[in-house]
Amino acid sequence: MSLAFHVRARRGDFDLDVAFASPARAIGLVGPSGAGKTTLLQGLAGLTPVKTARLTIDDELVVDTEAGLAPPPHRRSVGYVFQEGRLFPHLQVGTNVGFARPYVADPMSVGDALRLVDLEGFERRWPSTLSGGEMRRAAIARALVARPRLLLLDEPFSGLDHARRAALIPHLLRLREEVPMIVVSHDPRDVEALCQDVVVIAAGRRVS
């Protein structure tokens, strides 16, 4: 496994320029609020305009905006999980998880995606009945339906109490063997438990 990325972006007076390469299957992205972590993730996913986005997975160039390789988000082989989960409250879990299937050439089944996050049988549950940890896992399953080659997790532990955080870690540890991931977290305990390599950024620059 190898992963390399470079993102450059400008937002008013804020300038982001971060590059990194690693053989790790789970990379932690840490730094203070406003450092540019979410901008970096969304730039890789194609969810926000950036000056430069370059992503290589296993030596295959997936995105290179400077060379004109800038596929839309659903064609980047990248799954994005937002900090809040963002399940549609009016749709059952199965419909939420399968929402992107019509837009993907070779989608995973909803059942298979739910099995990967240990939520078998949750298809007819409503988001309002899920715990915080279950909601995060359902959001991850929704990203997995597209068979991504990389998962981008933006603060997957945010708002969870200690018990639910501890319960989520084993699911993500198993999942990283299936799909490599970049994980944004403010808590060093989560990063230490899940990630094999760490990028520290501050004020838009990599500091370690």
Structure confidence by residue, pLDDT tens digits, 15-49: 999 999 999 999 999 999 999 999 999 999 999 99
pLDDT at 86: 86
Element housing 129 (H / E)? none
> Per DSSP, which regions of the chain are E strands?
3-11, 14-22, 26-30, 52-57, 60-64, 78-81, 150-154, 181-184, 197-202, 205-206
**Kind plus residue range of the DSSP H or E element containing 74:** none
Q: Is the pLDDT of residue 83 over 90?
A: no
Q: pLDDT tens digits, residue range 37-82?
A: 999 999 999 999 999 999 999 999 999 999 999 999 988 999 999 9
**Residue 34, pLDDT score:** 94
Residue 162 has pLDDT above 90, yes or no: no
Using CA atoms in the order 76, 97, 140, 69, what is the torsion angle rounded to 10 degrees?
Answer: 10
Return the H-helix or E-strand segment holding 192: helix 188-194
Left, alpha or beta for 17 (phi > 0: left; psi -120 to 50: alpha)?
beta
Q: How far is CA 155 from the centre of its chain?
A: 9
**What's the whole-number mean pLDDT along residues 125-136?**
94
- Distance between CA atoms of residues 129 and 126, nearest Å: 6
Checking if the pLDDT of 100 tops 90, the result is no
pLDDT exceeds cutoff 80 at 179: yes
pLDDT of residue 189: 85
Q: Let me know how long the chain is.
A: 208
Kindly compute the dihedral angle of the four CA atoms of residues 203, 77, 28, 50, in this order, to the nearest 10 degrees: 0
Give the phi and the psi of residue 86 in degrees, each rounded to 5: 60, 45
Mean pLDDT, rounded, for 110-124: 96
pLDDT for res 74 = 87
Q: Residue 92 pLDDT more than 80?
A: yes
Contact yes or no for 206/200 (Cβ under 8 A): yes
Mean per-residue pLDDT, 153-180: 91
Edge-first strand listing for the sheet containing 205-206 = 60-64, 52-57, 3-11, 14-22, 205-206, 197-202, 26-30, 181-184, 150-154, 78-81
Q: Hey, CA dihedral for 71, 74, 76, 79, is it positive or negative?
A: positive
Q: pTM here?
A: 0.93
Pick one of 3.40.640.10, 3.40.50.300, 2.60.120.260, 3.20.20.80 as the CATH number of 3-206. 3.40.50.300
